[in-house]
Structure 1
Amino acid sequence: MSLLSLLIFLPLAAGLLILVLPYAWQQRYKYVALAAVGIQVIMSAFIYLNFDGNAFSGIDAKSKYQLVEQVSWINLQLGRLGSLQIDYFLGIDGLSMPFLVLSSVVMFIAVLSSWEIKTNLKGYFALLMLLNTAIMGVFCALDFFLFYIFYELMLLPLYFLIGMWGGARREYAAIKFFLYTLFGSVFMLLVIIGLYFSVQDPITGNHTFNMLHMMNPDNYIPGSIFSALAEQQIFGIPARLLGFIVLFIAFAIKVPIVPLHTWLPDAHVEAPTPVSIILAGILLKIGGYGILRICMSIFPDAAIDSAWWLGLIGVVSIIYGALNALAQNDLKRMIAYSSVSHMGFVLLGIASITAEGISGAMLQMISHGFLSTMLFFLVGVIYNRVHSRYIHDFRGLALIMPKYTTFIMIAFFASLGLPGFSAFIAEAFSLIGAFTSESVNGLLPRWMAICGSIGILLSAAYLLWTLQRMFFGKTRLMGGEDWKSKLTDVNGREIFVLTSLTVFALLLGILPSLAFDKMNASVLELIRLVNLK
């Protein structure tokens, strides 16, 4: 078994082990899960250290992607239609490798934060491990059908994790999340089928789900629905543009962008802390990754035609998410809306189709993964103690929780883009890409970059205002002395988690080359691919 296969299926094996362990050992389930994810962290670190960021040349999969594994999986003869061939096809490049590291670290933090889960531990940790497998599979799959299987597989565990271990309105939040995601996935499947019948393997001549073949216009069958030369139309819209829009909507729901974001605040508020960490730290990044890996790579011509609209949606998400965050009284809901705003920078950077913009968008996803994990973990710390997240229920927490206050100040200042932290570099590069796009390729006007920068000012407003209201001044707690006795400062486990996340945010802020050096060649190759159109 290859390294990527081991990375994907190790948590699934751990989940199956948890299912067969007796109920009397339920306190050991979390250690099985922690061990599996800990091994994943070591493996992803090994992959990162041995990844060659400059080895992106040539035209075949093994020269463009590393740790490639391709095995025939399903080969069904269809008579006159030829054969249906689906490959177990894995590989990583500079666009996917950083997310393997991010996902393994975030899942490790999520398992550590699961110490607070007290009910039905067998089902909880088994579902968490299944979710882990699906996430890793999405970032490694190079066969579109395999990608879709992993993509859909995430739905099931997330639905139950929110619906069974969530808050008072957990069923509503779980169903809303499920329906939103399923809506995008159903139409995505139609595009996948259309692409399958439009593309042929250059060696066998059979139709294929191979995403690398879909990225090569020479592999499209003349006259097929998605052939660039055929200029087919569906409902009066060019077929390739419609395919891009459908796939973009499916991934935009995950990002999420305005107006497809309304599932996110409800899901975050009702989800238990570990699931909120996974939603913000990993799930949103799958949306951005899908736009880069699939939408732009398979439909680069449509990406150029839609760049202005993508940039506009990014700007709207930045400002709308920040204004909504400013209006919230629930700390968790505020952070959820801040995620909408911060992920708007990702879309703005991608829309610029410049090296600076896409590199900034990639770093923003990685940075937001660590920082949002830290923020939701911090909310979980205070919620587990007094079961309240309302900002107006607390005042003067710095006097009774000084270590906790230190970590939340770090998280807040890092999130608003303080120099020295990862978000500063990420947002700066995204805005630089948007600003230079007008002169480089003429896709985005400069006013979009200027409007996007307003989001940084608004993030400072809602984060610093929250810091002032909750942590400074004379101590006043809604629960009085009872709450004061429960609001103990962070313990050793929590300090380990928060210190680790702080180190990641500082490392990427001080040495952004740790990420840029690994992804730069892949970013340039993506831009070259798009500009060929």
Structure 2
Amino acid sequence: MLTALIAIPALGALLVAFLPKGRDELAKVTALAVTLVVAVLAIVMAIGFDNGGPRFQFTEKYWWIKQFGVHYAVGVDGVALVLILLSVILVPLVVLASWNDAERSGGVDAPPKRSVKAYFALLLTLEAMMIGVFAATDIFLFYVFFEAMLIPMYFIIGSYGGAQRSYAAVKFLLYSLFGGLLMLAAVIGLYVVSANAGHGTFLFGELRNLHIEPTTAKWLFLGFFVAFAIKAPLVPFHTWLPDAAGQAPAGAAVLLVGVLDKVGTYGMLRFCLELFPGAAKWFTPVVLTLSVIGIVYGAVLAIGQIDIKRLIAYTSISHFGFITLGIFAMTTQGQTGATLYMVNHGFSTGALFLVAGFLIARRGSSRIDAFGGVQKVAPLLAGTFLVAGLSGLSLPGLSTFVSEFLVLVGTFTRYKVPAIIATSGIVLAAVYILWMYQRTMSGPPTEKVVGMRDLSKRELVVIAPVLALLVVLGFYPKPALNMINPSVKQTMVKVEKHDPQPTIAEKGIRP
């Protein structure tokens, strides 16, 4: 099943790329059909996932490079499964939302740089890589997918992005390659340690039980952690994200911030904690400090942005601070909330970027001051933007509230000061979201906004499922939590951490 999920979009990308010249509409329809098939198969797989069964299910393992102990090994636990579902749900919506993006590549007024076929082939290739990176249970295979994801995203940003697309694409690539180089060194070091123990392997299940000397473990942890911190991104490794997200087409920005960046936090939870539990505990104070700084720093910078897409990118830096805070709080509630946060943030930020893309396509500008009074001429567009924005500030009743609440409660039970400081991020979120809405949607319509059309049927089909998921998971997150919890418990066992027990002061209490 997992091999099929990886192979179908990869083969679909080849099919789209080799369609006859001039068959742009057929390329779009083919890409959409392929992504819908993948989404249906993934949902079928999720239905067949047994929450009470083995941790990794739908597993496959074959020799790939036998001389070096490399396997093609895939499998999913609850954490990987919910992130794969996030990916396969967002991709067809992005394809539909990007229906005309290739024609507007390089900015609204710039001529296309590449063909429509190439654009949708790159999206399908990216989907295959995203599924592969979450499904890989061989560390070397994970690294291959981790690096391969960069290629389609680099070309999407560099060829179809805004005026500064080349600068943003190169910066994105260089940061990511630097992180990948550090991780490659750590992957090789991990193999050497396993070989010295008698059996060289890259299999996660075997490496998880490997005893590593503490000093060596700290260096290997750093190799993985810095790579994941760049991908996430975590302050101070974040500076590539506002440029990349700001210059990428809106659909690509959805996948960049909504899915690709989750590979970083997923890697922290899966590999940093379980392969190097002692080192993870040793570095926890540093990571918690960086997380809290990121929460406040990202929110403050978001308030001062004048570009809609850059504002959303900075809000994501703040949100990723919450996710890493929950992971390294090392409590069940914190890690469960962090994993659910990855999913909810993907839908929330995806909704914001999608609506921002609709606005930019109409106005021809991403500057906040280019709008004003939109709610009077396009009420559906303004309404969807408001719901997406409210999910960004974790309004109760929307899914992001559940995950943020779990992260803060799980952190507070063990680390009270970081949790209290992180709570300020909620107040700052209300400022940057509501102020952005006020400047773009409220007041009298500006001259350029008068006559702006409301959402089309295609755009409603794109945004409605995302908003519905934000509401449904806000009131009923149990299905996702049931998949996540068993894997989180396994992680807690590996790092030898137990949830703090609540204490009751005995003074003044009568029996």
TM-score of the aligned structures, taking structure 1 as reference length: 0.89
Structure 1: gaps spanning 5 or more residues: 56-62, 77-83, 221-226, 232-237, 438-443
Q: Return the alpha-carbon distance in structure 2 between the equivalents of residues 201 and 375 of structure 1.
A: 50
Matched, 1:175 2:152: no
Q: How far does residue 85 in structure 1 lie from its aligned partner after superposition?
A: 2.2
Q: How far does residue 24 in structure 1 lie from its aligned partner after superposition?
A: 2.8
Matched, 1:492 2:492: no
User: Match of 1:279?
Assistant: 256
Q: How far does residue 333 in structure 1 lie from its aligned partner after superposition?
A: 0.8
Question: What amino acid is aligned across from residue 86 of structure 1 in structure 2?
Answer: V
Matched, 1:207 2:173: no
Q: 2:26 is paired with a residue of what secondary structure?
A: helix
1:468-509 per-residue CA deviation (whole Å, 9 max, x = no partner) reads 1221122224x3xxx423x20000111111110011111111
Q: 1:64 is paired with a residue of what secondary structure?
A: coil
Question: What amino acid is aligned across from residue 526 of structure 1 in structure 2?
Answer: T
**Equivalence map 1:294-373=2 (5 Å):** 294-373=271-350
User: Match of 1:154?
Assistant: 149
Q: How far does residue 66 in structure 1 lie from its aligned partner after superposition?
A: 0.2
Q: How far does residue 200 in structure 1 lie from its aligned partner after superposition?
A: 4.7
Q: Return the alpha-carbon distance in structure 2 between the equivalents of residues 495 and 15 of structure 1.
A: 26
Q: How far does residue 20 in structure 1 lie from its aligned partner after superposition?
A: 1.9
Question: What amino acid is aligned across from residue 74 of structure 2 in structure 1?
Answer: L
Q: How far does residue 286 in structure 1 lie from its aligned partner after superposition?
A: 0.8
User: Match of 2:508?
Assistant: none
In 2, are the aligned partners of 1:421 and 1:508 still within 8 Å (CA)? yes
User: Match of 1:472?
Assistant: 442
**Equivalence map 1:121-520=2 (5 Å):** 121-200=116-195, 206-217=199-210, 220=211, 227-228=212-213, 231=214, 238-437=215-414, 444=415, 446-477=416-447, 479=448, 483-485=449-451, 487-520=452-485
**Equivalence map 1:8-157=2 (5 Å):** 8-55=6-53, 63-76=54-67, 84-116=68-100, 117-118=102-103, 119=112, 120-157=115-152
Change (3 A) 1:471 1:17: same
User: Percent identity at matched positions?
Assistant: 38
Question: What amino acid is aligned across from residue 479 of structure 2 in structure 1?
Answer: L
Q: Return the alpha-carbon distance in structure 2 between the equivalents of residues 72 and 188 of structure 1.
A: 22
Q: How far does residue 206 in structure 1 lie from its aligned partner after superposition?
A: 3.5
Q: 2:58 is paired with a residue of what secondary structure?
A: strand
TM-score of the aligned structures, taking structure 2 as reference length: 0.93
After the TM superposition, which parts of structure 1 deviate over 6 Å for at least 4 consecutive aligned residues?
none
User: Match of 1:527?
Assistant: 492
Q: Return the alpha-carbon distance in structure 1 between the equivalents of residues 199 and 297 of structure 2.
A: 47
Q: 1:24 is paired with a residue of what secondary structure?
A: coil
In 2, are the aligned partners of 1:200 and 1:213 still within 8 Å (CA)? no
1:59-101 per-residue CA deviation (whole Å, 9 max, x = no partner) reads xxxx33100101111223xxxxxxx221110000012010110
Q: Return the alpha-carbon distance in structure 2 between the equivalents of residues 154 and 435 of structure 1.
A: 36
In 2, are the aligned partners of 1:201 and 1:208 still within 8 Å (CA)? no
Q: Return the alpha-carbon distance in structure 2 between the equivalents of residues 462 and 65 of structure 1.
A: 40
In 1, are the aligned partners of 2:334 and 2:409 still within 8 Å (CA)? yes
In 1, are the aligned partners of 2:60 and 2:74 still within 8 Å (CA)? yes
Change (3 A) 1:532 1:375: closer
Cα RMSD (Å)? 1.4
Change (3 A) 1:145 1:373: same
Q: Return the alpha-carbon distance in structure 2 between the equivalents of residues 392 and 180 of structure 1.
A: 31
Q: Return the alpha-carbon distance in structure 2 between the equivalents of residues 16 and 397 of structure 1.
A: 41
Q: Return the alpha-carbon distance in structure 1 between the equivalents of residues 465 and 79 of structure 2.
A: 24
1:87-134 per-residue CA deviation (whole Å, 9 max, x = no partner) reads 110000012010110000111111112212224112112221111111
Q: 2:444 is paired with a residue of what secondary structure?
A: coil
Q: Return the alpha-carbon distance in structure 1 between the equivalents of residues 497 and 294 of structure 2.
A: 29
For this pair of structures, how many residues does the alignment match? 487
In 1, are the aligned partners of 2:76 and 2:135 still within 8 Å (CA)? yes
Q: Return the alpha-carbon distance in structure 2 between the equivalents of residues 191 and 306 of structure 1.
A: 17
In 2, are the aligned partners of 1:201 and 1:213 still within 8 Å (CA)? no
Q: Return the alpha-carbon distance in structure 2 between the equivalents of residues 243 and 281 of structure 1.
A: 28
Q: How far does residue 201 in structure 1 lie from its aligned partner after superposition?
A: 11
Q: Return the alpha-carbon distance in structure 1 between the equivalents of residues 443 and 199 of structure 2.
A: 70
- Deviates further, 42-51 or 7-16: 42-51
1:320-360 per-residue CA deviation (whole Å, 9 max, x = no partner) reads 00000000111111111000011111011011100000011
Q: How far does residue 274 in structure 1 lie from its aligned partner after superposition?
A: 1.3
Q: Return the alpha-carbon distance in structure 1 between the equivalents of residues 30 and 199 of structure 2.
A: 44
Question: What amino acid is aligned across from residue 524 of structure 1 in structure 2?
Answer: K
User: Match of 1:60?
Assistant: none
Q: 1:197 is paired with a residue of what secondary structure?
A: helix
Q: Return the alpha-carbon distance in structure 2 between the equivalents of residues 470 and 175 of structure 1.
A: 31
Q: Return the alpha-carbon distance in structure 1 between the equivalents of residues 382 and 156 of structure 2.
A: 29
Q: Return the alpha-carbon distance in structure 2 between the equivalents of residues 496 and 241 of structure 1.
A: 48
1:278-328 per-residue CA deviation (whole Å, 9 max, x = no partner) reads 111101111110111111111011111111211111111100000000001
In 1, are the aligned partners of 2:330 and 2:497 still within 8 Å (CA)? no
Change (3 A) 1:492 1:303: same
In 2, are the aligned partners of 1:4 and 1:140 still within 8 Å (CA)? yes
